[in-house]
């Protein structure tokens, strides 16, 4: 629209292009600011996976990402892709793939965790929820949800940098479009007055 309006001097196309660009900039600014506020209100500062707690993340993140309905979809995706099978890379959401250390489970053969004879050290929700079944594991644990939110927070930094560059690019295009629109209107008015004379 911008190229056609600018090259062919179609003022209406330039006007439409400017409005679409303006709305895109406003939408991206609002989205980036609201999402950043929701993500950055969290007190999580990159602690080790074993020490992350769900309460370290903002209420907005908890309500919009790991609420019951959304988490069921994420959980089924994790279990269907066998997310934890052979997962040893450092970026893994470790809280999903093994029971929390404070529970006191013992590793039996590299993949199976058992309750020691003395019993679990804690009756915490995550300790009771753990299962060796690869479809269940700790996918319903708060430590898994917290690890997932930590990954989202880390990824959001990269995404917000991309959105900032995109907004800057759109603003530059908007300013150039304004100049082209002003020039096109000036030509239209000149031709109108020239023809009337």
- Can you spell out the DSSP letters for 153-193? HHHHHHHHHHHHHHHHHHHHHHHHHHHHHHHHHHHHHHHHH
**So what's the pLDDT on residue 89?**
43
**Mean pLDDT within 133-161:** 86
**Mean pLDDT within 159-178:** 89
Given phi > 0 = left and psi -120 to 50 = alpha, else beta, which region is 9? Answer: left
Instruction: Report which listed range, 57-66, 80-89, 110-119, is most confident.
Output: 110-119
| 63 pLDDT tier (thresholds 50, 70, 90) | confident
Give the CB-side neighbour count of residue 109, counting CA atoms within 13 A: 2
pLDDT above 60: residue 88 = no
pLDDT above 80: residue 70 = yes
- On whether the CB atoms of residues 137 and 96 are closer than 8 A, the answer is yes
**Is 176 or 128 the better-scoring residue by pLDDT?**
128
* 30: three-class secondary structure by DSSP: helix
pLDDT above 60: residue 81 = yes
Q: Give CB contacts under 8 A, 24+ apart, made by 17-20.
A: 17/177, 18/174, 18/177, 18/178, 18/181
pTM: 0.67
């Amino acid at each position: 629209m911008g190229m056609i309006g600018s090259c062919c001097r179609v003022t209406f196309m330039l006007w439409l292009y400017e409005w679409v660009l303006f709305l895109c900039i406003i939408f991206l600014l609002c989205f980036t600011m609201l999402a950043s506020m929701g993500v950055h209100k969290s007190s999580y500062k990159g602690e080790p996976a074993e020490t992350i707690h769900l309460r370290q993340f903002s209420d907005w993140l908890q309500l919009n990402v790991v609420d019951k309905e959304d988490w069921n979809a994420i959980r089924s995706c994790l279990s269907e892709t066998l997310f934890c099978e052979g997962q040893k890379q450092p970026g893994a959401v470790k809280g999903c793939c093994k029971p929390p250390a404070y529970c006191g489970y013992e590793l039996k053969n590299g993949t199976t965790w058992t309750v020691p004879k003395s019993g679990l050290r804690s009756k915490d929700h995550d300790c009771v929820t753990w299962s060796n079944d690869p479809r269940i594991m700790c996918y319903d644990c708060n430590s898994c949800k917290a690890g997932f939110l930590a990954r989202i927070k880390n990824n959001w930094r990269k995404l917000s940098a991309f959105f900032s560059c995109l907004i800057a690019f759109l603003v530059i295009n908007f300013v150039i479009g304004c100049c082209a629109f002003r020039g096109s209107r000036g030509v239209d008015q000149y031709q109108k007055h020239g023809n009337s004379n």
